[in-house]
Amino acid sequence: MHWSDVMAGRLAERGQRHIIATGITPSGEFHIGHLREILTGDMIARAARRAGMEAELVFVVDNADPLRKVYPFLDPSYEAFIGHQLGSIPAPDADGKPDWKRFNEEGWTYGDHFLVPFLAALKQIGVIPRLLPNLEAYRSGKFSASARIACDQREQIREIVERVSGRELPESWFPWQPLDSKGSLDGLTITGYDYPLVHWTDSHGESGSSNIEKGEGKLPWRLDWPAKWGFNSITCEPFGKDHGAAGGSYDTGKEIAVLFGHEPPIPLTYEWISLRGQGAMSSSSGNTIGPIEALQLVPPEILRFLVANSKPSKAIEFDTGMGLVNLADEFERLSARDFDEEMKDDSLSRRKRVQLEDAKVALELSAIDEAGRSGAASVSFRHLALLAQVKPDDMAVWESLQSSGAIDQPTSQLVDRLSRMRSWIESTHFPDDMRVDLCAEPDVAALEALSDAQRRVITALKRTIEAADWTVDGITAAFKVAGEEAEVGMRDVYRASYALFMGAERGPRLAPILSNCDQSDIVSLVNQASALTS
């Protein structure tokens, strides 16, 4: 059974209506690791709906969290905002400086700056969650009930956190973090509590009172999370393995949730996505690939397939090179199959049946449109990569596909895919193995491996290529004539030609590629090779 269906089964035991939560802090550039969080939630929601339940995906925007440090992309002036809430400070402009103008005129905050492009990327991959901005929730008093319980029963809370996490909280610990005289959550000392006020003194020597019902501060993370579960009626939440560790915030959260008066959500811990060859992604190290950047290269349904086809407990290595080609081609192959038909075979082993079922579901979950199925593009990624390189003009690509009978008219999906393919090819991520590269000069090793008969082909090519009419047909004819002159079969002609032009044994069809090159350059290459082999 597919992992999403396993989750749906657990949800069904609990009830028929579900709110699946995801949550991210908009402290910096979003990366594809965050995409796993959202997609995992989206897929659980889809599975629940498929099983006949009501399910909604929500995205908690943790913009009440403070800025932790001045990241490399920020101007040093952000020093003044450390400890301030991400939804209450200005966004960085192109130079990393606070953009006060937009902040004052449009209310454009630091959190918005990172969130909005991420939402655009989500839309492309077919995920449109209901947003729950956390800072606004504090300000509108949604946290009041839980905050009061936390402050009133702070010794029970302390006991839970210390027992479950195994760590000792400092004597000064208090379950509410007020904002200080400058708007920071850092460096305060709590001096007293009279509901609804928490009294404090700050690092500037000021003192004041924070009303826990008006968002003049926030709950610490371990309390903030279970509180949100309650007033948002969250029934299920996937989260990264950091939260899932024993003694981690889910463990304390599920007990605190009960104290707050509600049931904790059904959890699902997922593994990280890392970049191939580079280790875990992290916003602060700059070792990231953003969802936007990823979507410039990868068709959205294939990004979905990557997550759908990996069990959440498995770490994913995101590979923008050959791994992507293989992934995309696997997706294409699966898309072209009819699983329902295959599963009618009663002789299938249980193992095989499971495999078919999982592939079928993964494929369904990969569709951008939940109702639709992601149809096969009928062109493999490999093939498209070749065509895109060989034919600079899109129309020529479609003509080639039409003439081979692969497609009738290019679908919008295919047009979209070609444009992403072109940006991938131009990027540094495109694998060398896939690049169509003609030799600039003869590849001696490849030529030396040729048989005598094949060497005669090169000698013959020297004349026919030079004389060729420089079109696809003309070049094809030149190969044919060379074969006749050298008295060898076409197999040898091409063996020799690939060694000559690409330093390889095989390759893509040569005539269309050569026709895009300058004839004199090719002639020169053949002449040099001919000198080496004769």
Partner RNA sequence: GGGCCUGUAGCUCAGUCAGGUAGAGCGUCGGACUUUUAAUCCGAUGGUCGCGGGUUCGAACCCCGUCGGGCCCGCCA
Residues 105-164 that bind RNA (CB under 7 A): none
How many whole angstroms separate alpha carbon 529 and alpha carbon 517? Answer: 17
Q: Is 455 in the site for RNA (CB under 7 A)?
A: no
Eight-state DSSP code of residue 320: S
Determine the size of the site formed for RNA (CB under 7 A).
73
How many whole angstroms separate alpha carbon 69 and alpha carbon 105? Answer: 26
Angle, CA 191 vertex, CA 186 and CA 196 arms, to 5°: 90
How many whole angstroms separate alpha carbon 60 and alpha carbon 470? Answer: 61
- Amino acid at residue number 3: W
Q: How far is the CB of 371 from RNA (least distance, A)?
A: 27
Q: How far is the CB of 157 from RNA (least distance, A)?
A: 13
Q: How far is the CB of 94 from RNA (least distance, A)?
A: 26
User: Considering only CA atoms, which of 143, 148, 152 is closest in space to residue 228?
Assistant: 143
Residues 23-42 that bind RNA (CB under 7 A): 23-25
Which tokens sit at 374? 């992601």
Stretch that binds RNA, among 74-82, 195-203, 485-493, 519-527 (CB under 7 A): 485-493
If the CB atoms of residues 108 and 173 are measured against RNA, the closer one turns out to be: 173
If the CB atoms of residues 86 and 99 are measured against RNA, the closer one turns out to be: 86
Q: How far is the CB of 199 from RNA (least distance, A)?
A: 20
Residues 366-395 that bind RNA (CB under 7 A): 380, 382-383, 386-387, 390-391
If the CB atoms of residues 126 and 138 are measured against RNA, the closer one turns out to be: 138
If the CB atoms of residues 105 and 452 are measured against RNA, the closer one turns out to be: 452
Q: How far is the CB of 416 from RNA (least distance, A)?
A: 20
How many whole angstroms separate alpha carbon 376 and alpha carbon 406? Answer: 11
Region of residue 353 (phi > 0: left; psi between -120 and 50: alpha; otherwise: beta): alpha
Region of residue 258 (phi > 0: left; psi between -120 and 50: alpha; otherwise: beta): alpha
Q: Is 512 in the site for RNA (CB under 7 A)?
A: yes
User: Binding marks (x or -) toward RNA, 155..184, rule CB under 7 A?
Assistant: ----------xxx---------x-------
Q: How far is the CB of 101 from RNA (least distance, A)?
A: 28
Q: How far is the CB of 511 from RNA (least distance, A)?
A: 9
* CA atoms within a 13 Å half-sphere pointing along the CA-CB vector of 358: 15
Distances, alpha carbon 222 to alpha carbons 136, 256, 384, 506, in Å = 19, 9, 49, 60
Q: How far is the CB of 481 from RNA (least distance, A)?
A: 14
Stretch that binds RNA, among 13-21, 214-222, 408-416, 444-452 (CB under 7 A): 214-222
Positive or negative: CA dihedral 134, 135, 141, 145: positive
Peptide bond into 196 cis (omega under 30): yes
Q: How far is the CB of 69 from RNA (least distance, A)?
A: 9
If the CB atoms of residues 99 and 229 are measured against RNA, the closer one turns out to be: 229
Stretch that binds RNA, among 90-98, 416-424, 431-439, 453-461 (CB under 7 A): 431-439
Residues 144, 400, 454, 464: which binds RNA (CB under 7 A)? Answer: 400
Residues 56, 93, 136, 271: which binds RNA (CB under 7 A)? Answer: 271
Q: Is 507 in the site for RNA (CB under 7 A)?
A: yes
* CA atoms within a 13 Å half-sphere pointing along the CA-CB vector of 323: 11
Report H helices in 201-310. Answer: 221-231, 241-244, 249-260, 291-297, 300-308
Residues 144, 235, 249, 335: which binds RNA (CB under 7 A)? Answer: 249
SS (H, E, C) 140-193: CCCCHHHHHHHHHCHHHHHHHHHHHHCCCCCCCCCCCEECCCCCECCCCEEEEE
Residues 282-301 that bind RNA (CB under 7 A): none
User: Considering only CA atoms, which of 114, 35, 24 is closest in space to residue 289?
Assistant: 35
Q: Is 204 in the site for RNA (CB under 7 A)?
A: no
If the CB atoms of residues 241 and 463 are measured against RNA, the closer one turns out to be: 241
Burial 191-219 (b: 16+ CB within 10 A, else e): eebeebbbebbbeeeeebebbbbebbbbb
If the CB atoms of residues 96 and 267 are measured against RNA, the closer one turns out to be: 267
User: Considering only CA atoms, which of 465, 452, 463, 456 is closest in space to residue 501?
Assistant: 465
If the CB atoms of residues 99 and 359 are measured against RNA, the closer one turns out to be: 359
Q: How far is the CB of 102 from RNA (least distance, A)?
A: 24
If the CB atoms of residues 126 and 265 are measured against RNA, the closer one turns out to be: 265
> Long-range contacts of range 22-25, CB-CB < 8 Å, 24 or more positions apart?
22/57, 22/58, 22/59, 22/60, 22/129, 22/237, 22/238, 23/59, 23/60, 23/61, 23/62, 23/228, 23/237, 23/239, 24/59, 24/60, 24/61, 24/62, 24/118, 25/62, 25/63, 25/65, 25/86
Residues 145, 434, 523, 532: which binds RNA (CB under 7 A)? Answer: 434
Q: How far is the CB of 86 from RNA (least distance, A)?
A: 9
If the CB atoms of residues 126 and 312 are measured against RNA, the closer one turns out to be: 312
If the CB atoms of residues 174 and 193 are measured against RNA, the closer one turns out to be: 174
Q: Is 493 in the site for RNA (CB under 7 A)?
A: yes
Q: Is 268 helix (H, G, I), strand (E, B) or coil?
A: strand
Residues 59-78 that bind RNA (CB under 7 A): 62, 65, 68
Residues 219-238 that bind RNA (CB under 7 A): 220-222, 224
Stretch that binds RNA, among 109-117, 136-144, 246-254, 408-416 (CB under 7 A): 246-254
Q: Beta strand 189-194 with 217-218: parallel, antiparallel or unpaired?
A: unpaired
Q: How far is the CB of 368 from RNA (least distance, A)?
A: 23
Residues 306-365 that bind RNA (CB under 7 A): 310-311, 313-317, 326, 329-330, 333, 351-352, 354-355, 358
